[in-house]
Amino acid sequence: MTRPTDFTLRGALDALAAREISAEELARAHLDAIEALNPRLNAYVAVTGERALERARASDARRARGEAGPLEGVPLGIKDLFCTEGVRTTAGSRILGDFVPPYESTVTANLLRDGAVFLGKTNLDEFAMGSSNTTSAAGPVENPWNRRNDPDTRLVPGGSSGGSAAAVAARLALGATATDTGGSIRQPAAFCGIAGMKPTYGRCSRWGVVAFASSLDQAGPMARTVEDCATLLRSMSGFDPKDSTSADMPVPDFAAACGRSVKGLRIGVPCEYRLDGMPAEIEALWQQGLEWLREAGAETVEISLPHAKYALPTYYIVAPAEASSNLARYDGVRYGLRVEERDGDLQDLYERTRAAGFGAEVKRRIMIGTYVLSAGYYDAYYLKAQKVRALIKRDFDEVFAASGAKVDAIVTPATPSAAFGMDEKQDDPVAMYLNDVFTVTANLAGLPGLSVPAGLDTQGLPLGLQVIGRAFDEETVFAVGAALERAAAFEALPAVMAGKTARAAG
Amino acid sequence: MSYTVEGSTGAWEVVVGLEVHAQVVSESKLFSGAATAFGAEPNTQVSLVDAGFPGMLPVPNRECVAQAVRTGLGLGAEIHLWSRFDRKNYFYADLPQGYQISQYAHPVVGEGAVEIELADGARKRVGITRLHLEQDAGKSLHDQHPSKSYIDLNRSGVALMEIVSEPDMRSPEEAGAYLTKLRQIMRYLGTCDGNMDEGSLRADVNVSVRKPGEGFRTRCEVKNVNSIRFVMQAVEAEARRQVEVWEEGGTVRQETRLFDTARGVTRSMRSKEEAHDYRYFPDPDLPPLVLEQGWVEELKAALPELPDARRARYARDFGLSPYDAHVLVLEKETAAYFEEVAHGRDPKLAANWVMGDLFAALNRTRRGIENPPVSARDLGALLDLMGDGTLSGKLAKEVFEAMVETGQAPGAIVEERGLRQVTDTGAIEEAARAVLDGNAGKVAEYRGGKDKLFGFFVGQVMKAMAGKGNPALVNDVLKKLLG
């Protein structure tokens, strides 16, 4: 019989439906795995075991009554950027102190509505700012994968959703919620050998998700298969009147789209994504992916996205600008950390609280953002970045145009490298920011982007391919992603995972 | 004729522009569902959005937008179908989000104008530059604790309309008349209750002075003035201060000042409070505000009659004097009262009673028109009793006073006190004969040509009838008997 932690989400739902396993057993198996492995991986910042078991039992009762929801009994990890009612929420920062939200984010409430069981809150870069999950106040997350020839070097899981990615890869959850502002779902998914979907901006409500950059932030799922991502996304999605940027659009059956043929689809290959100095194995994997799609009946087309090369600098102006304003509310006055002032000086309260509460990377981005919005610099930085953003979006509009479309989806590498060591790139923020080079365009244009594990590099580390689609056409993205997944038949396993290490230890 | 400040170097002209912050009449706040009632216990009308909790998002309240559009329409202003909310970033303890959401670059309402009327009857047009929607901040209470400030977030997120005028006003009186007119229009529209003592209407007063014929000189902004009288005083005080500065060879520095109402002078605010770089940028949580022309047309069609139109109608249809019409429309409650009294009756008579006896009664009883001692319906009934001859003018005044005192309807008072005037000619003739019989000498004198004795006979008959004789009938009967 399948070890409970080895189920895919789909497989677990089938087993639950067939009464081969109970939600309680499934939750307990994952909690045991977390207990065994989390001290090393640090993927969870909080484990809500009792609550999980209680909900699992309630889930079993619902199923027994014939009231099973679409995710009935599925144990999930929740990125600690989602506010969860009655459960401390930190955003990976000291500044939120012991903040316990009296409300549940719309996305997590949707998952609970559909029967999901939350195991705990997963680690992340502070305020979702980072690509290595090393900026968290709760400490770094370790990637469950190791280099074949260098097994002792601890690798980063990517970021900012590094805890969710590591948890899913190491079988500490069947799936997880994540958020993606510049690549924070897709890059860690690629680094950890799992699938991750950033849906169209507006598909998932942002209500109750701690904001980083409002015009770019979007919640999405992580899971070990494309179809599992699709199943989770369907539950997470939907119009929310509490979010003015939420889209009032019907939510299709994304999982059904995973079975669609890609025959006749036109797949765009943007020449601008062929970077100087990009590892040959990534280029090779990209070509392999395109070949798989051609074999499945799709047509590949060279396209140009001429403004893509400006995406990274544009992103690193827009995102910090919004962040500098979004993070102004963490001031020590109403909730979270407060470092008492001297001499009753309010300014002093702000300075002490924010100096103690924010980490270096968050401070750097607040300062960049404050600078680019300042009088005298606004036009040169923020306004110009907004104009370039419009051009980047126009590039996509042209290739995806409704009439005479050049392509139906775009396929690129997900990241410019495989996972790197925890001590690497930490002193050079620009080198770190380059991790997002392939992913930020989808955020700037508001488009769906899916990362699919497609192969290993020479060190045995996973590499991902990215599928970008039209706004609100996640179905085509899932279809292409599932086709890549089938062809790649990615079956490699991480060094650290539930069951496996237990054997090694025994 | 025109207002000037006399300095040692001659006359100075005053230039005034106003930024008025008007609280929108709405059940809930601009971007949250929290209530807006005045005077609630501190921090009882605060949603998680208003308190700036993590992950909370603003959702525009459609009614607040409608109120802004109605106000714009009432000011004859251009309605922008596309507008946008920006963030104005600054740190303060009563600003939970760390920014105020405001329409900095693209306001919902553009240029318009209002006409003001001055004491000498002159009229003047004051241009409106723009009207935009924004959130109010909370309130810092510095007097509750020896070393701490308390914060009340009830106001946090309440919708305000900021209405910016052109620098078209030239005197304290014009500034006062403009604010009065703006308040009147918004109260007619029901978009702002205009309660200045509750802070529903506040003005930032921009003042500069210049020699006649010059261009504009540097202006100062007197912040947060909360009554029409204080606005007028602030203009005068600030103008005098600036004239002194210029005449002493100094230069007026552009700055923000406060009006010290106790001393009647303006004071400079600490420069630290002005040194903000607000880092305005479009609020990424809010898509642009896009209105449909059809919706604006619907709002326009449903607008109530505004004071200028009403005043014109009173003059045209009712034949009221411009002054009477002006007075009756000043407050929409007065106009509504008057219209109820005038309905189906002589409007001039109604106007006289409202502006005469009713206003006097309001003053005497210290009550407002919204809570009058005599209802419009009862006053109308009183006029009807005069119209059908039940009451003489003199009796009507007596009945009115009784109505003020007792709150009873006029019919009841007439019955109870037997004040019904006597129209029975038999009874009048009987009384008249008795008077003439008792004054035979005077009758002889009258017949001898002393005409003015007629009034004496009328007085005696009325006295004999305890004032209840119908005056016209008494006259007729006496003429007949003496003739």
> What are the pLDDT digits (tens) for A266-280?
999 999 999 888 889
Please, which residues 298-357 of chain B have a Cβ atom closer than 8 Å to chain A? none
- Choosing from A184, A205, A237, A417, the catalytic residue is A184
A71/B101 Cα distance (integer angstroms): 39
Do the Cβ atoms of A362 and A127 come closer than 8 Å? yes
Amino acid at B102: S
Measure Cα distances from A473 to A251, A258, A368, A457 in Å. Answer: 10, 12, 34, 31
The alpha-carbon gap from B60 to the nearest alpha carbon of chain A, in Å, equals: 8
Is B279 in contact with A96 (Cβ distance < 8 A)? no
Which of A240, A239, A221 is CA-nearest to residue A230? A221
Would you say residue A503 has pLDDT above 60?
Answer: no
- Which of A105, A325, A331 lies nearest to residue B55, judging by beta carbons? A105
> How many domains is chain A partitioned into structurally?
1
Region for B279 from its dihedrals, namely left if φ exceeds 0, alpha if ψ lies in -120 to 50, beta otherwise: left
Measure Cα distances from A166 to A40, A111, A116, A496 in Å. Answer: 11, 21, 19, 10
Would you say residue A177 has pLDDT above 50?
Answer: yes
Do the Cβ atoms of B116 and B181 come closer than 8 Å? yes
Q: Tell me how many residue pairs between chain A and chain B have CB atoms under 8 A apart.
A: 99
For residue A213, list chain B residues with Cβ-Cβ distance below 8 A.
284
A96/A80 Cα distance (integer angstroms): 11
Angle between helices B307-318 and B332-342 (to 10 degrees): 20
B107/B83 Cα distance (integer angstroms): 6
The alpha-carbon gap from B160 to the nearest alpha carbon of chain A, in Å, equals: 20
3-state helix, strand, coil in chain B (%, to 5): 40, 20, 40
- Which of A83, A350, A378 lies nearest to residue B91, judging by beta carbons? A350
Do the Cβ atoms of B91 and A331 come closer than 8 Å? yes
- Which of B58, B98, B149 lies nearest to residue A331, judging by beta carbons? B98
Is B151 in contact with A344 (Cβ distance < 8 A)? no
**Which two tokens mark A91?**
């955003």
Amino acid at A396: F
- Identify whether A251 is part of a domain: yes
Is B147 in contact with A344 (Cβ distance < 8 A)? yes
Q: Does B34 touch chain A (CB under 8 A)?
A: no
Would you say residue B452 has pLDDT above 90?
Answer: no
- DSSP secondary structure, A362-380, as one string: HHHHHHHHHHHHSTTTTII
Is B55 in contact with A83 (Cβ distance < 8 A)? yes
Best residue in A206, A218, A325 for a mutation probing chain B (most B CBs within 10 Å): A325
Would you say residue B422 has pLDDT above 80?
Answer: no
Report the pLDDT averaged over residues B38-50: 94
A184 is catalytic: yes
**Cβ-Cβ contacts under 8 Å for B250 (sequence gap 6 or more):** none
Do the Cβ atoms of A77 and A169 come closer than 8 Å? no
Tell me the pLDDT of chain A averaged across its residues: 96
Tell me the pLDDT of chain B averaged across its residues: 93
- Which of B60, B93, B147 lies nearest to residue A333, judging by beta carbons? B93
Best residue in A84, A333, A347, A348 for a mutation probing chain B (most B CBs within 10 Å): A333
**Which two tokens mark B252?**
């007026």
Is B284 in contact with A322 (Cβ distance < 8 A)? yes
Residue A504: band (very low, low, confident or very high) from pLDDT cuts 50, 70, 90: very low
B359/B377 Cα distance (integer angstroms): 16
- Identify whether A257 is part of a domain: yes
A141/A494 Cα distance (integer angstroms): 15
Residue A112: band (very low, low, confident or very high) from pLDDT cuts 50, 70, 90: very high
Strand pairing class (B265-268; A44-47): unpaired
Is A334 in contact with B52 (Cβ distance < 8 A)? yes
- Which of A96, A244, A324 lies nearest to residue B59, judging by beta carbons? A244
**Cβ-Cβ contacts under 8 Å for B3 (sequence gap 6 or more):** B14, B170, B171, B172, B173, B174
- Which of B60, B98, B148 lies nearest to residue A329, judging by beta carbons? B98
A325 is catalytic: no
**Which two tokens mark B409?**
């309807």
3-state helix, strand, coil in chain A (%, to 5): 40, 15, 45
B374 CB neighbour count, 10 Å cutoff: 26
Do the Cβ atoms of A252 and A133 come closer than 8 Å? no
Q: Would you call B109 helix, strand, or coil by DSSP?
A: strand
Q: What is the CATH number of the domain that holds A187?
A: 3.90.1300.10
Measure Cα distances from A474 to A114, A226, A237, A253, A376 in Å. Answer: 21, 12, 11, 10, 41
Amino acid at B59: V
Report the pLDDT averaged over residues B376-389: 91
For residue A91, list chain B residues with Cβ-Cβ distance below 8 A.
54
pLDDT value for A244: 97
Q: Does A317 touch chain B (CB under 8 A)?
A: no
For residue A245, list chain B residues with Cβ-Cβ distance below 8 A.
284-287
Q: Does A226 touch chain B (CB under 8 A)?
A: no
Is B54 in contact with A99 (Cβ distance < 8 A)? yes
The residue with tokens 């930190």 is A90
For residue B287, list chain A residues with Cβ-Cβ distance below 8 A.
244-245
Would you say residue A495 has pLDDT above 70?
Answer: yes
Do the Cβ atoms of B104 and B68 come closer than 8 Å? no
B46/B155 Cα distance (integer angstroms): 8
A176/A163 Cα distance (integer angstroms): 9
A422/A426 Cα distance (integer angstroms): 8
Lowest-confidence pick of A400-404, B325-329, B404-408: A400-404
Which of A318, A332, A319, A311 is CA-nearest to residue A437? A311
Residue B274: band (very low, low, confident or very high) from pLDDT cuts 50, 70, 90: low
B161 CB neighbour count, 10 Å cutoff: 25
What is the CA angle A102-A105-A109, rounded to 5? 100
Best residue in A127, A334, A349 for a mutation probing chain B (most B CBs within 10 Å): A334
Would you say residue B434 has pLDDT above 80?
Answer: yes
Would you say residue B373 has pLDDT above 80?
Answer: yes
- Identify whether A233 is part of a domain: yes
Measure Cα distances from A351 to A341, A345, A348 in Å. Answer: 9, 10, 5
The alpha-carbon gap from A116 to the nearest alpha carbon of chain B, in Å, equals: 22
Q: Does A335 touch chain B (CB under 8 A)?
A: yes
Chain B residue closest to A324 (CA)?
A: B89
ipTM: 0.95
Residue B84: band (very low, low, confident or very high) from pLDDT cuts 50, 70, 90: very high
Sign of the CA dihedral running A421, A427, A433, A438:
negative
Q: What is the pLDDT of residues B214-271, one digit of tens each?
A: 999 999 999 999 999 999 999 999 999 999 999 999 999 999 999 999 999 999 986 6
Q: Does B148 touch chain A (CB under 8 A)?
A: yes
A79 is catalytic: yes
Q: Does A207 touch chain B (CB under 8 A)?
A: yes
**Cβ-Cβ contacts under 8 Å for B111 (sequence gap 6 or more):** B77, B78, B127, B128, B129, B130
B62/B56 Cα distance (integer angstroms): 19
Provide the b/e sequence for A4-40 (b: ≥16 CB within 10 Å).
bbbbbbbbbbebbeeeebbbbbbbbbbbbbbebbbee
Q: What is the pLDDT of residues A12-31, one digit of tens each?
A: 999 999 999 999 999 999 99
pLDDT value for A505: 36
Partners of A464 in beta bridges: A453
Burial class (CB in 10 A: 0-12, 13-18, 19+), A502: middle
Rg of chain B over CA atoms, in angstroms? 31
Q: What is the pLDDT of residues A180-227, one digit of tens each?
A: 999 999 999 999 999 999 999 999 999 999 999 999 999 999 999 999
Q: Which of B111-120, B142-151, B161-170, B323-332 has the highest mean pLDDT?
A: B161-170
- Identify whether A112 is part of a domain: yes
Is B51 in contact with A374 (Cβ distance < 8 A)? no
First to last CA, chain B: 60
Do the Cβ atoms of A162 and A124 come closer than 8 Å? yes
Measure Cα distances from B349 to A289, B318, B356 in Å. Answer: 93, 10, 10
Share of chain A above pLDDT 90, in %: 92
Lowest-confidence pick of A104-113, A253-262, A323-332, B315-324: B315-324
Is B58 in contact with A101 (Cβ distance < 8 A)? no
pLDDT value for A277: 83
**Phi, then psi, of B454 in degrees rounded to 5:** -55, -40
Q: Does A319 touch chain B (CB under 8 A)?
A: no
Partners of A44 in beta bridges: A122
B285/B86 Cα distance (integer angstroms): 10
Would you say residue A364 has pLDDT above 90?
Answer: yes
Report the pLDDT averaged over residues B105-133: 95
**Cβ-Cβ contacts under 8 Å for B176 (sequence gap 6 or more):** B228, B229, B231, B232
Is A325 in contact with B279 (Cβ distance < 8 A)? yes
Q: For the sheet with A409-413, list strands across it.
A: A44-47, A117-122, A75-79, A175-180, A218-223, A195-198, A449-456, A462-469, A409-413, A266-270, A299-303
Provide the b/e sequence for A359-371 (b: ≥16 CB within 10 Å).
bebbeebbebbbb
Is B98 in contact with A101 (Cβ distance < 8 A)? no
Domain that holds residue A205: 4-261+486-505
CATH, range B425-482: 1.10.10.410
What DSSP element (H or E) covers B255?
none
pLDDT value for B272: 52
Q: What is the pLDDT of residues A426-473, one digit of tens each?
A: 788 888 888 899 999 999 999 999 999 999 999 999 999 999 999 999
Read off the pTM: 0.90
Report the pLDDT averaged over residues A383-402: 95
The alpha-carbon gap from B222 to the nearest alpha carbon of chain A, in Å, equals: 24
What DSSP element (H or E) covers B348?
helix B347-353
Q: Does A377 touch chain B (CB under 8 A)?
A: no
The alpha-carbon gap from B138 to the nearest alpha carbon of chain A, in Å, equals: 13
Residue B392: band (very low, low, confident or very high) from pLDDT cuts 50, 70, 90: confident
- Identify whether A209 is part of a domain: yes
| CATH 1.10.10.410 domain range(s) in chain B | 425-482
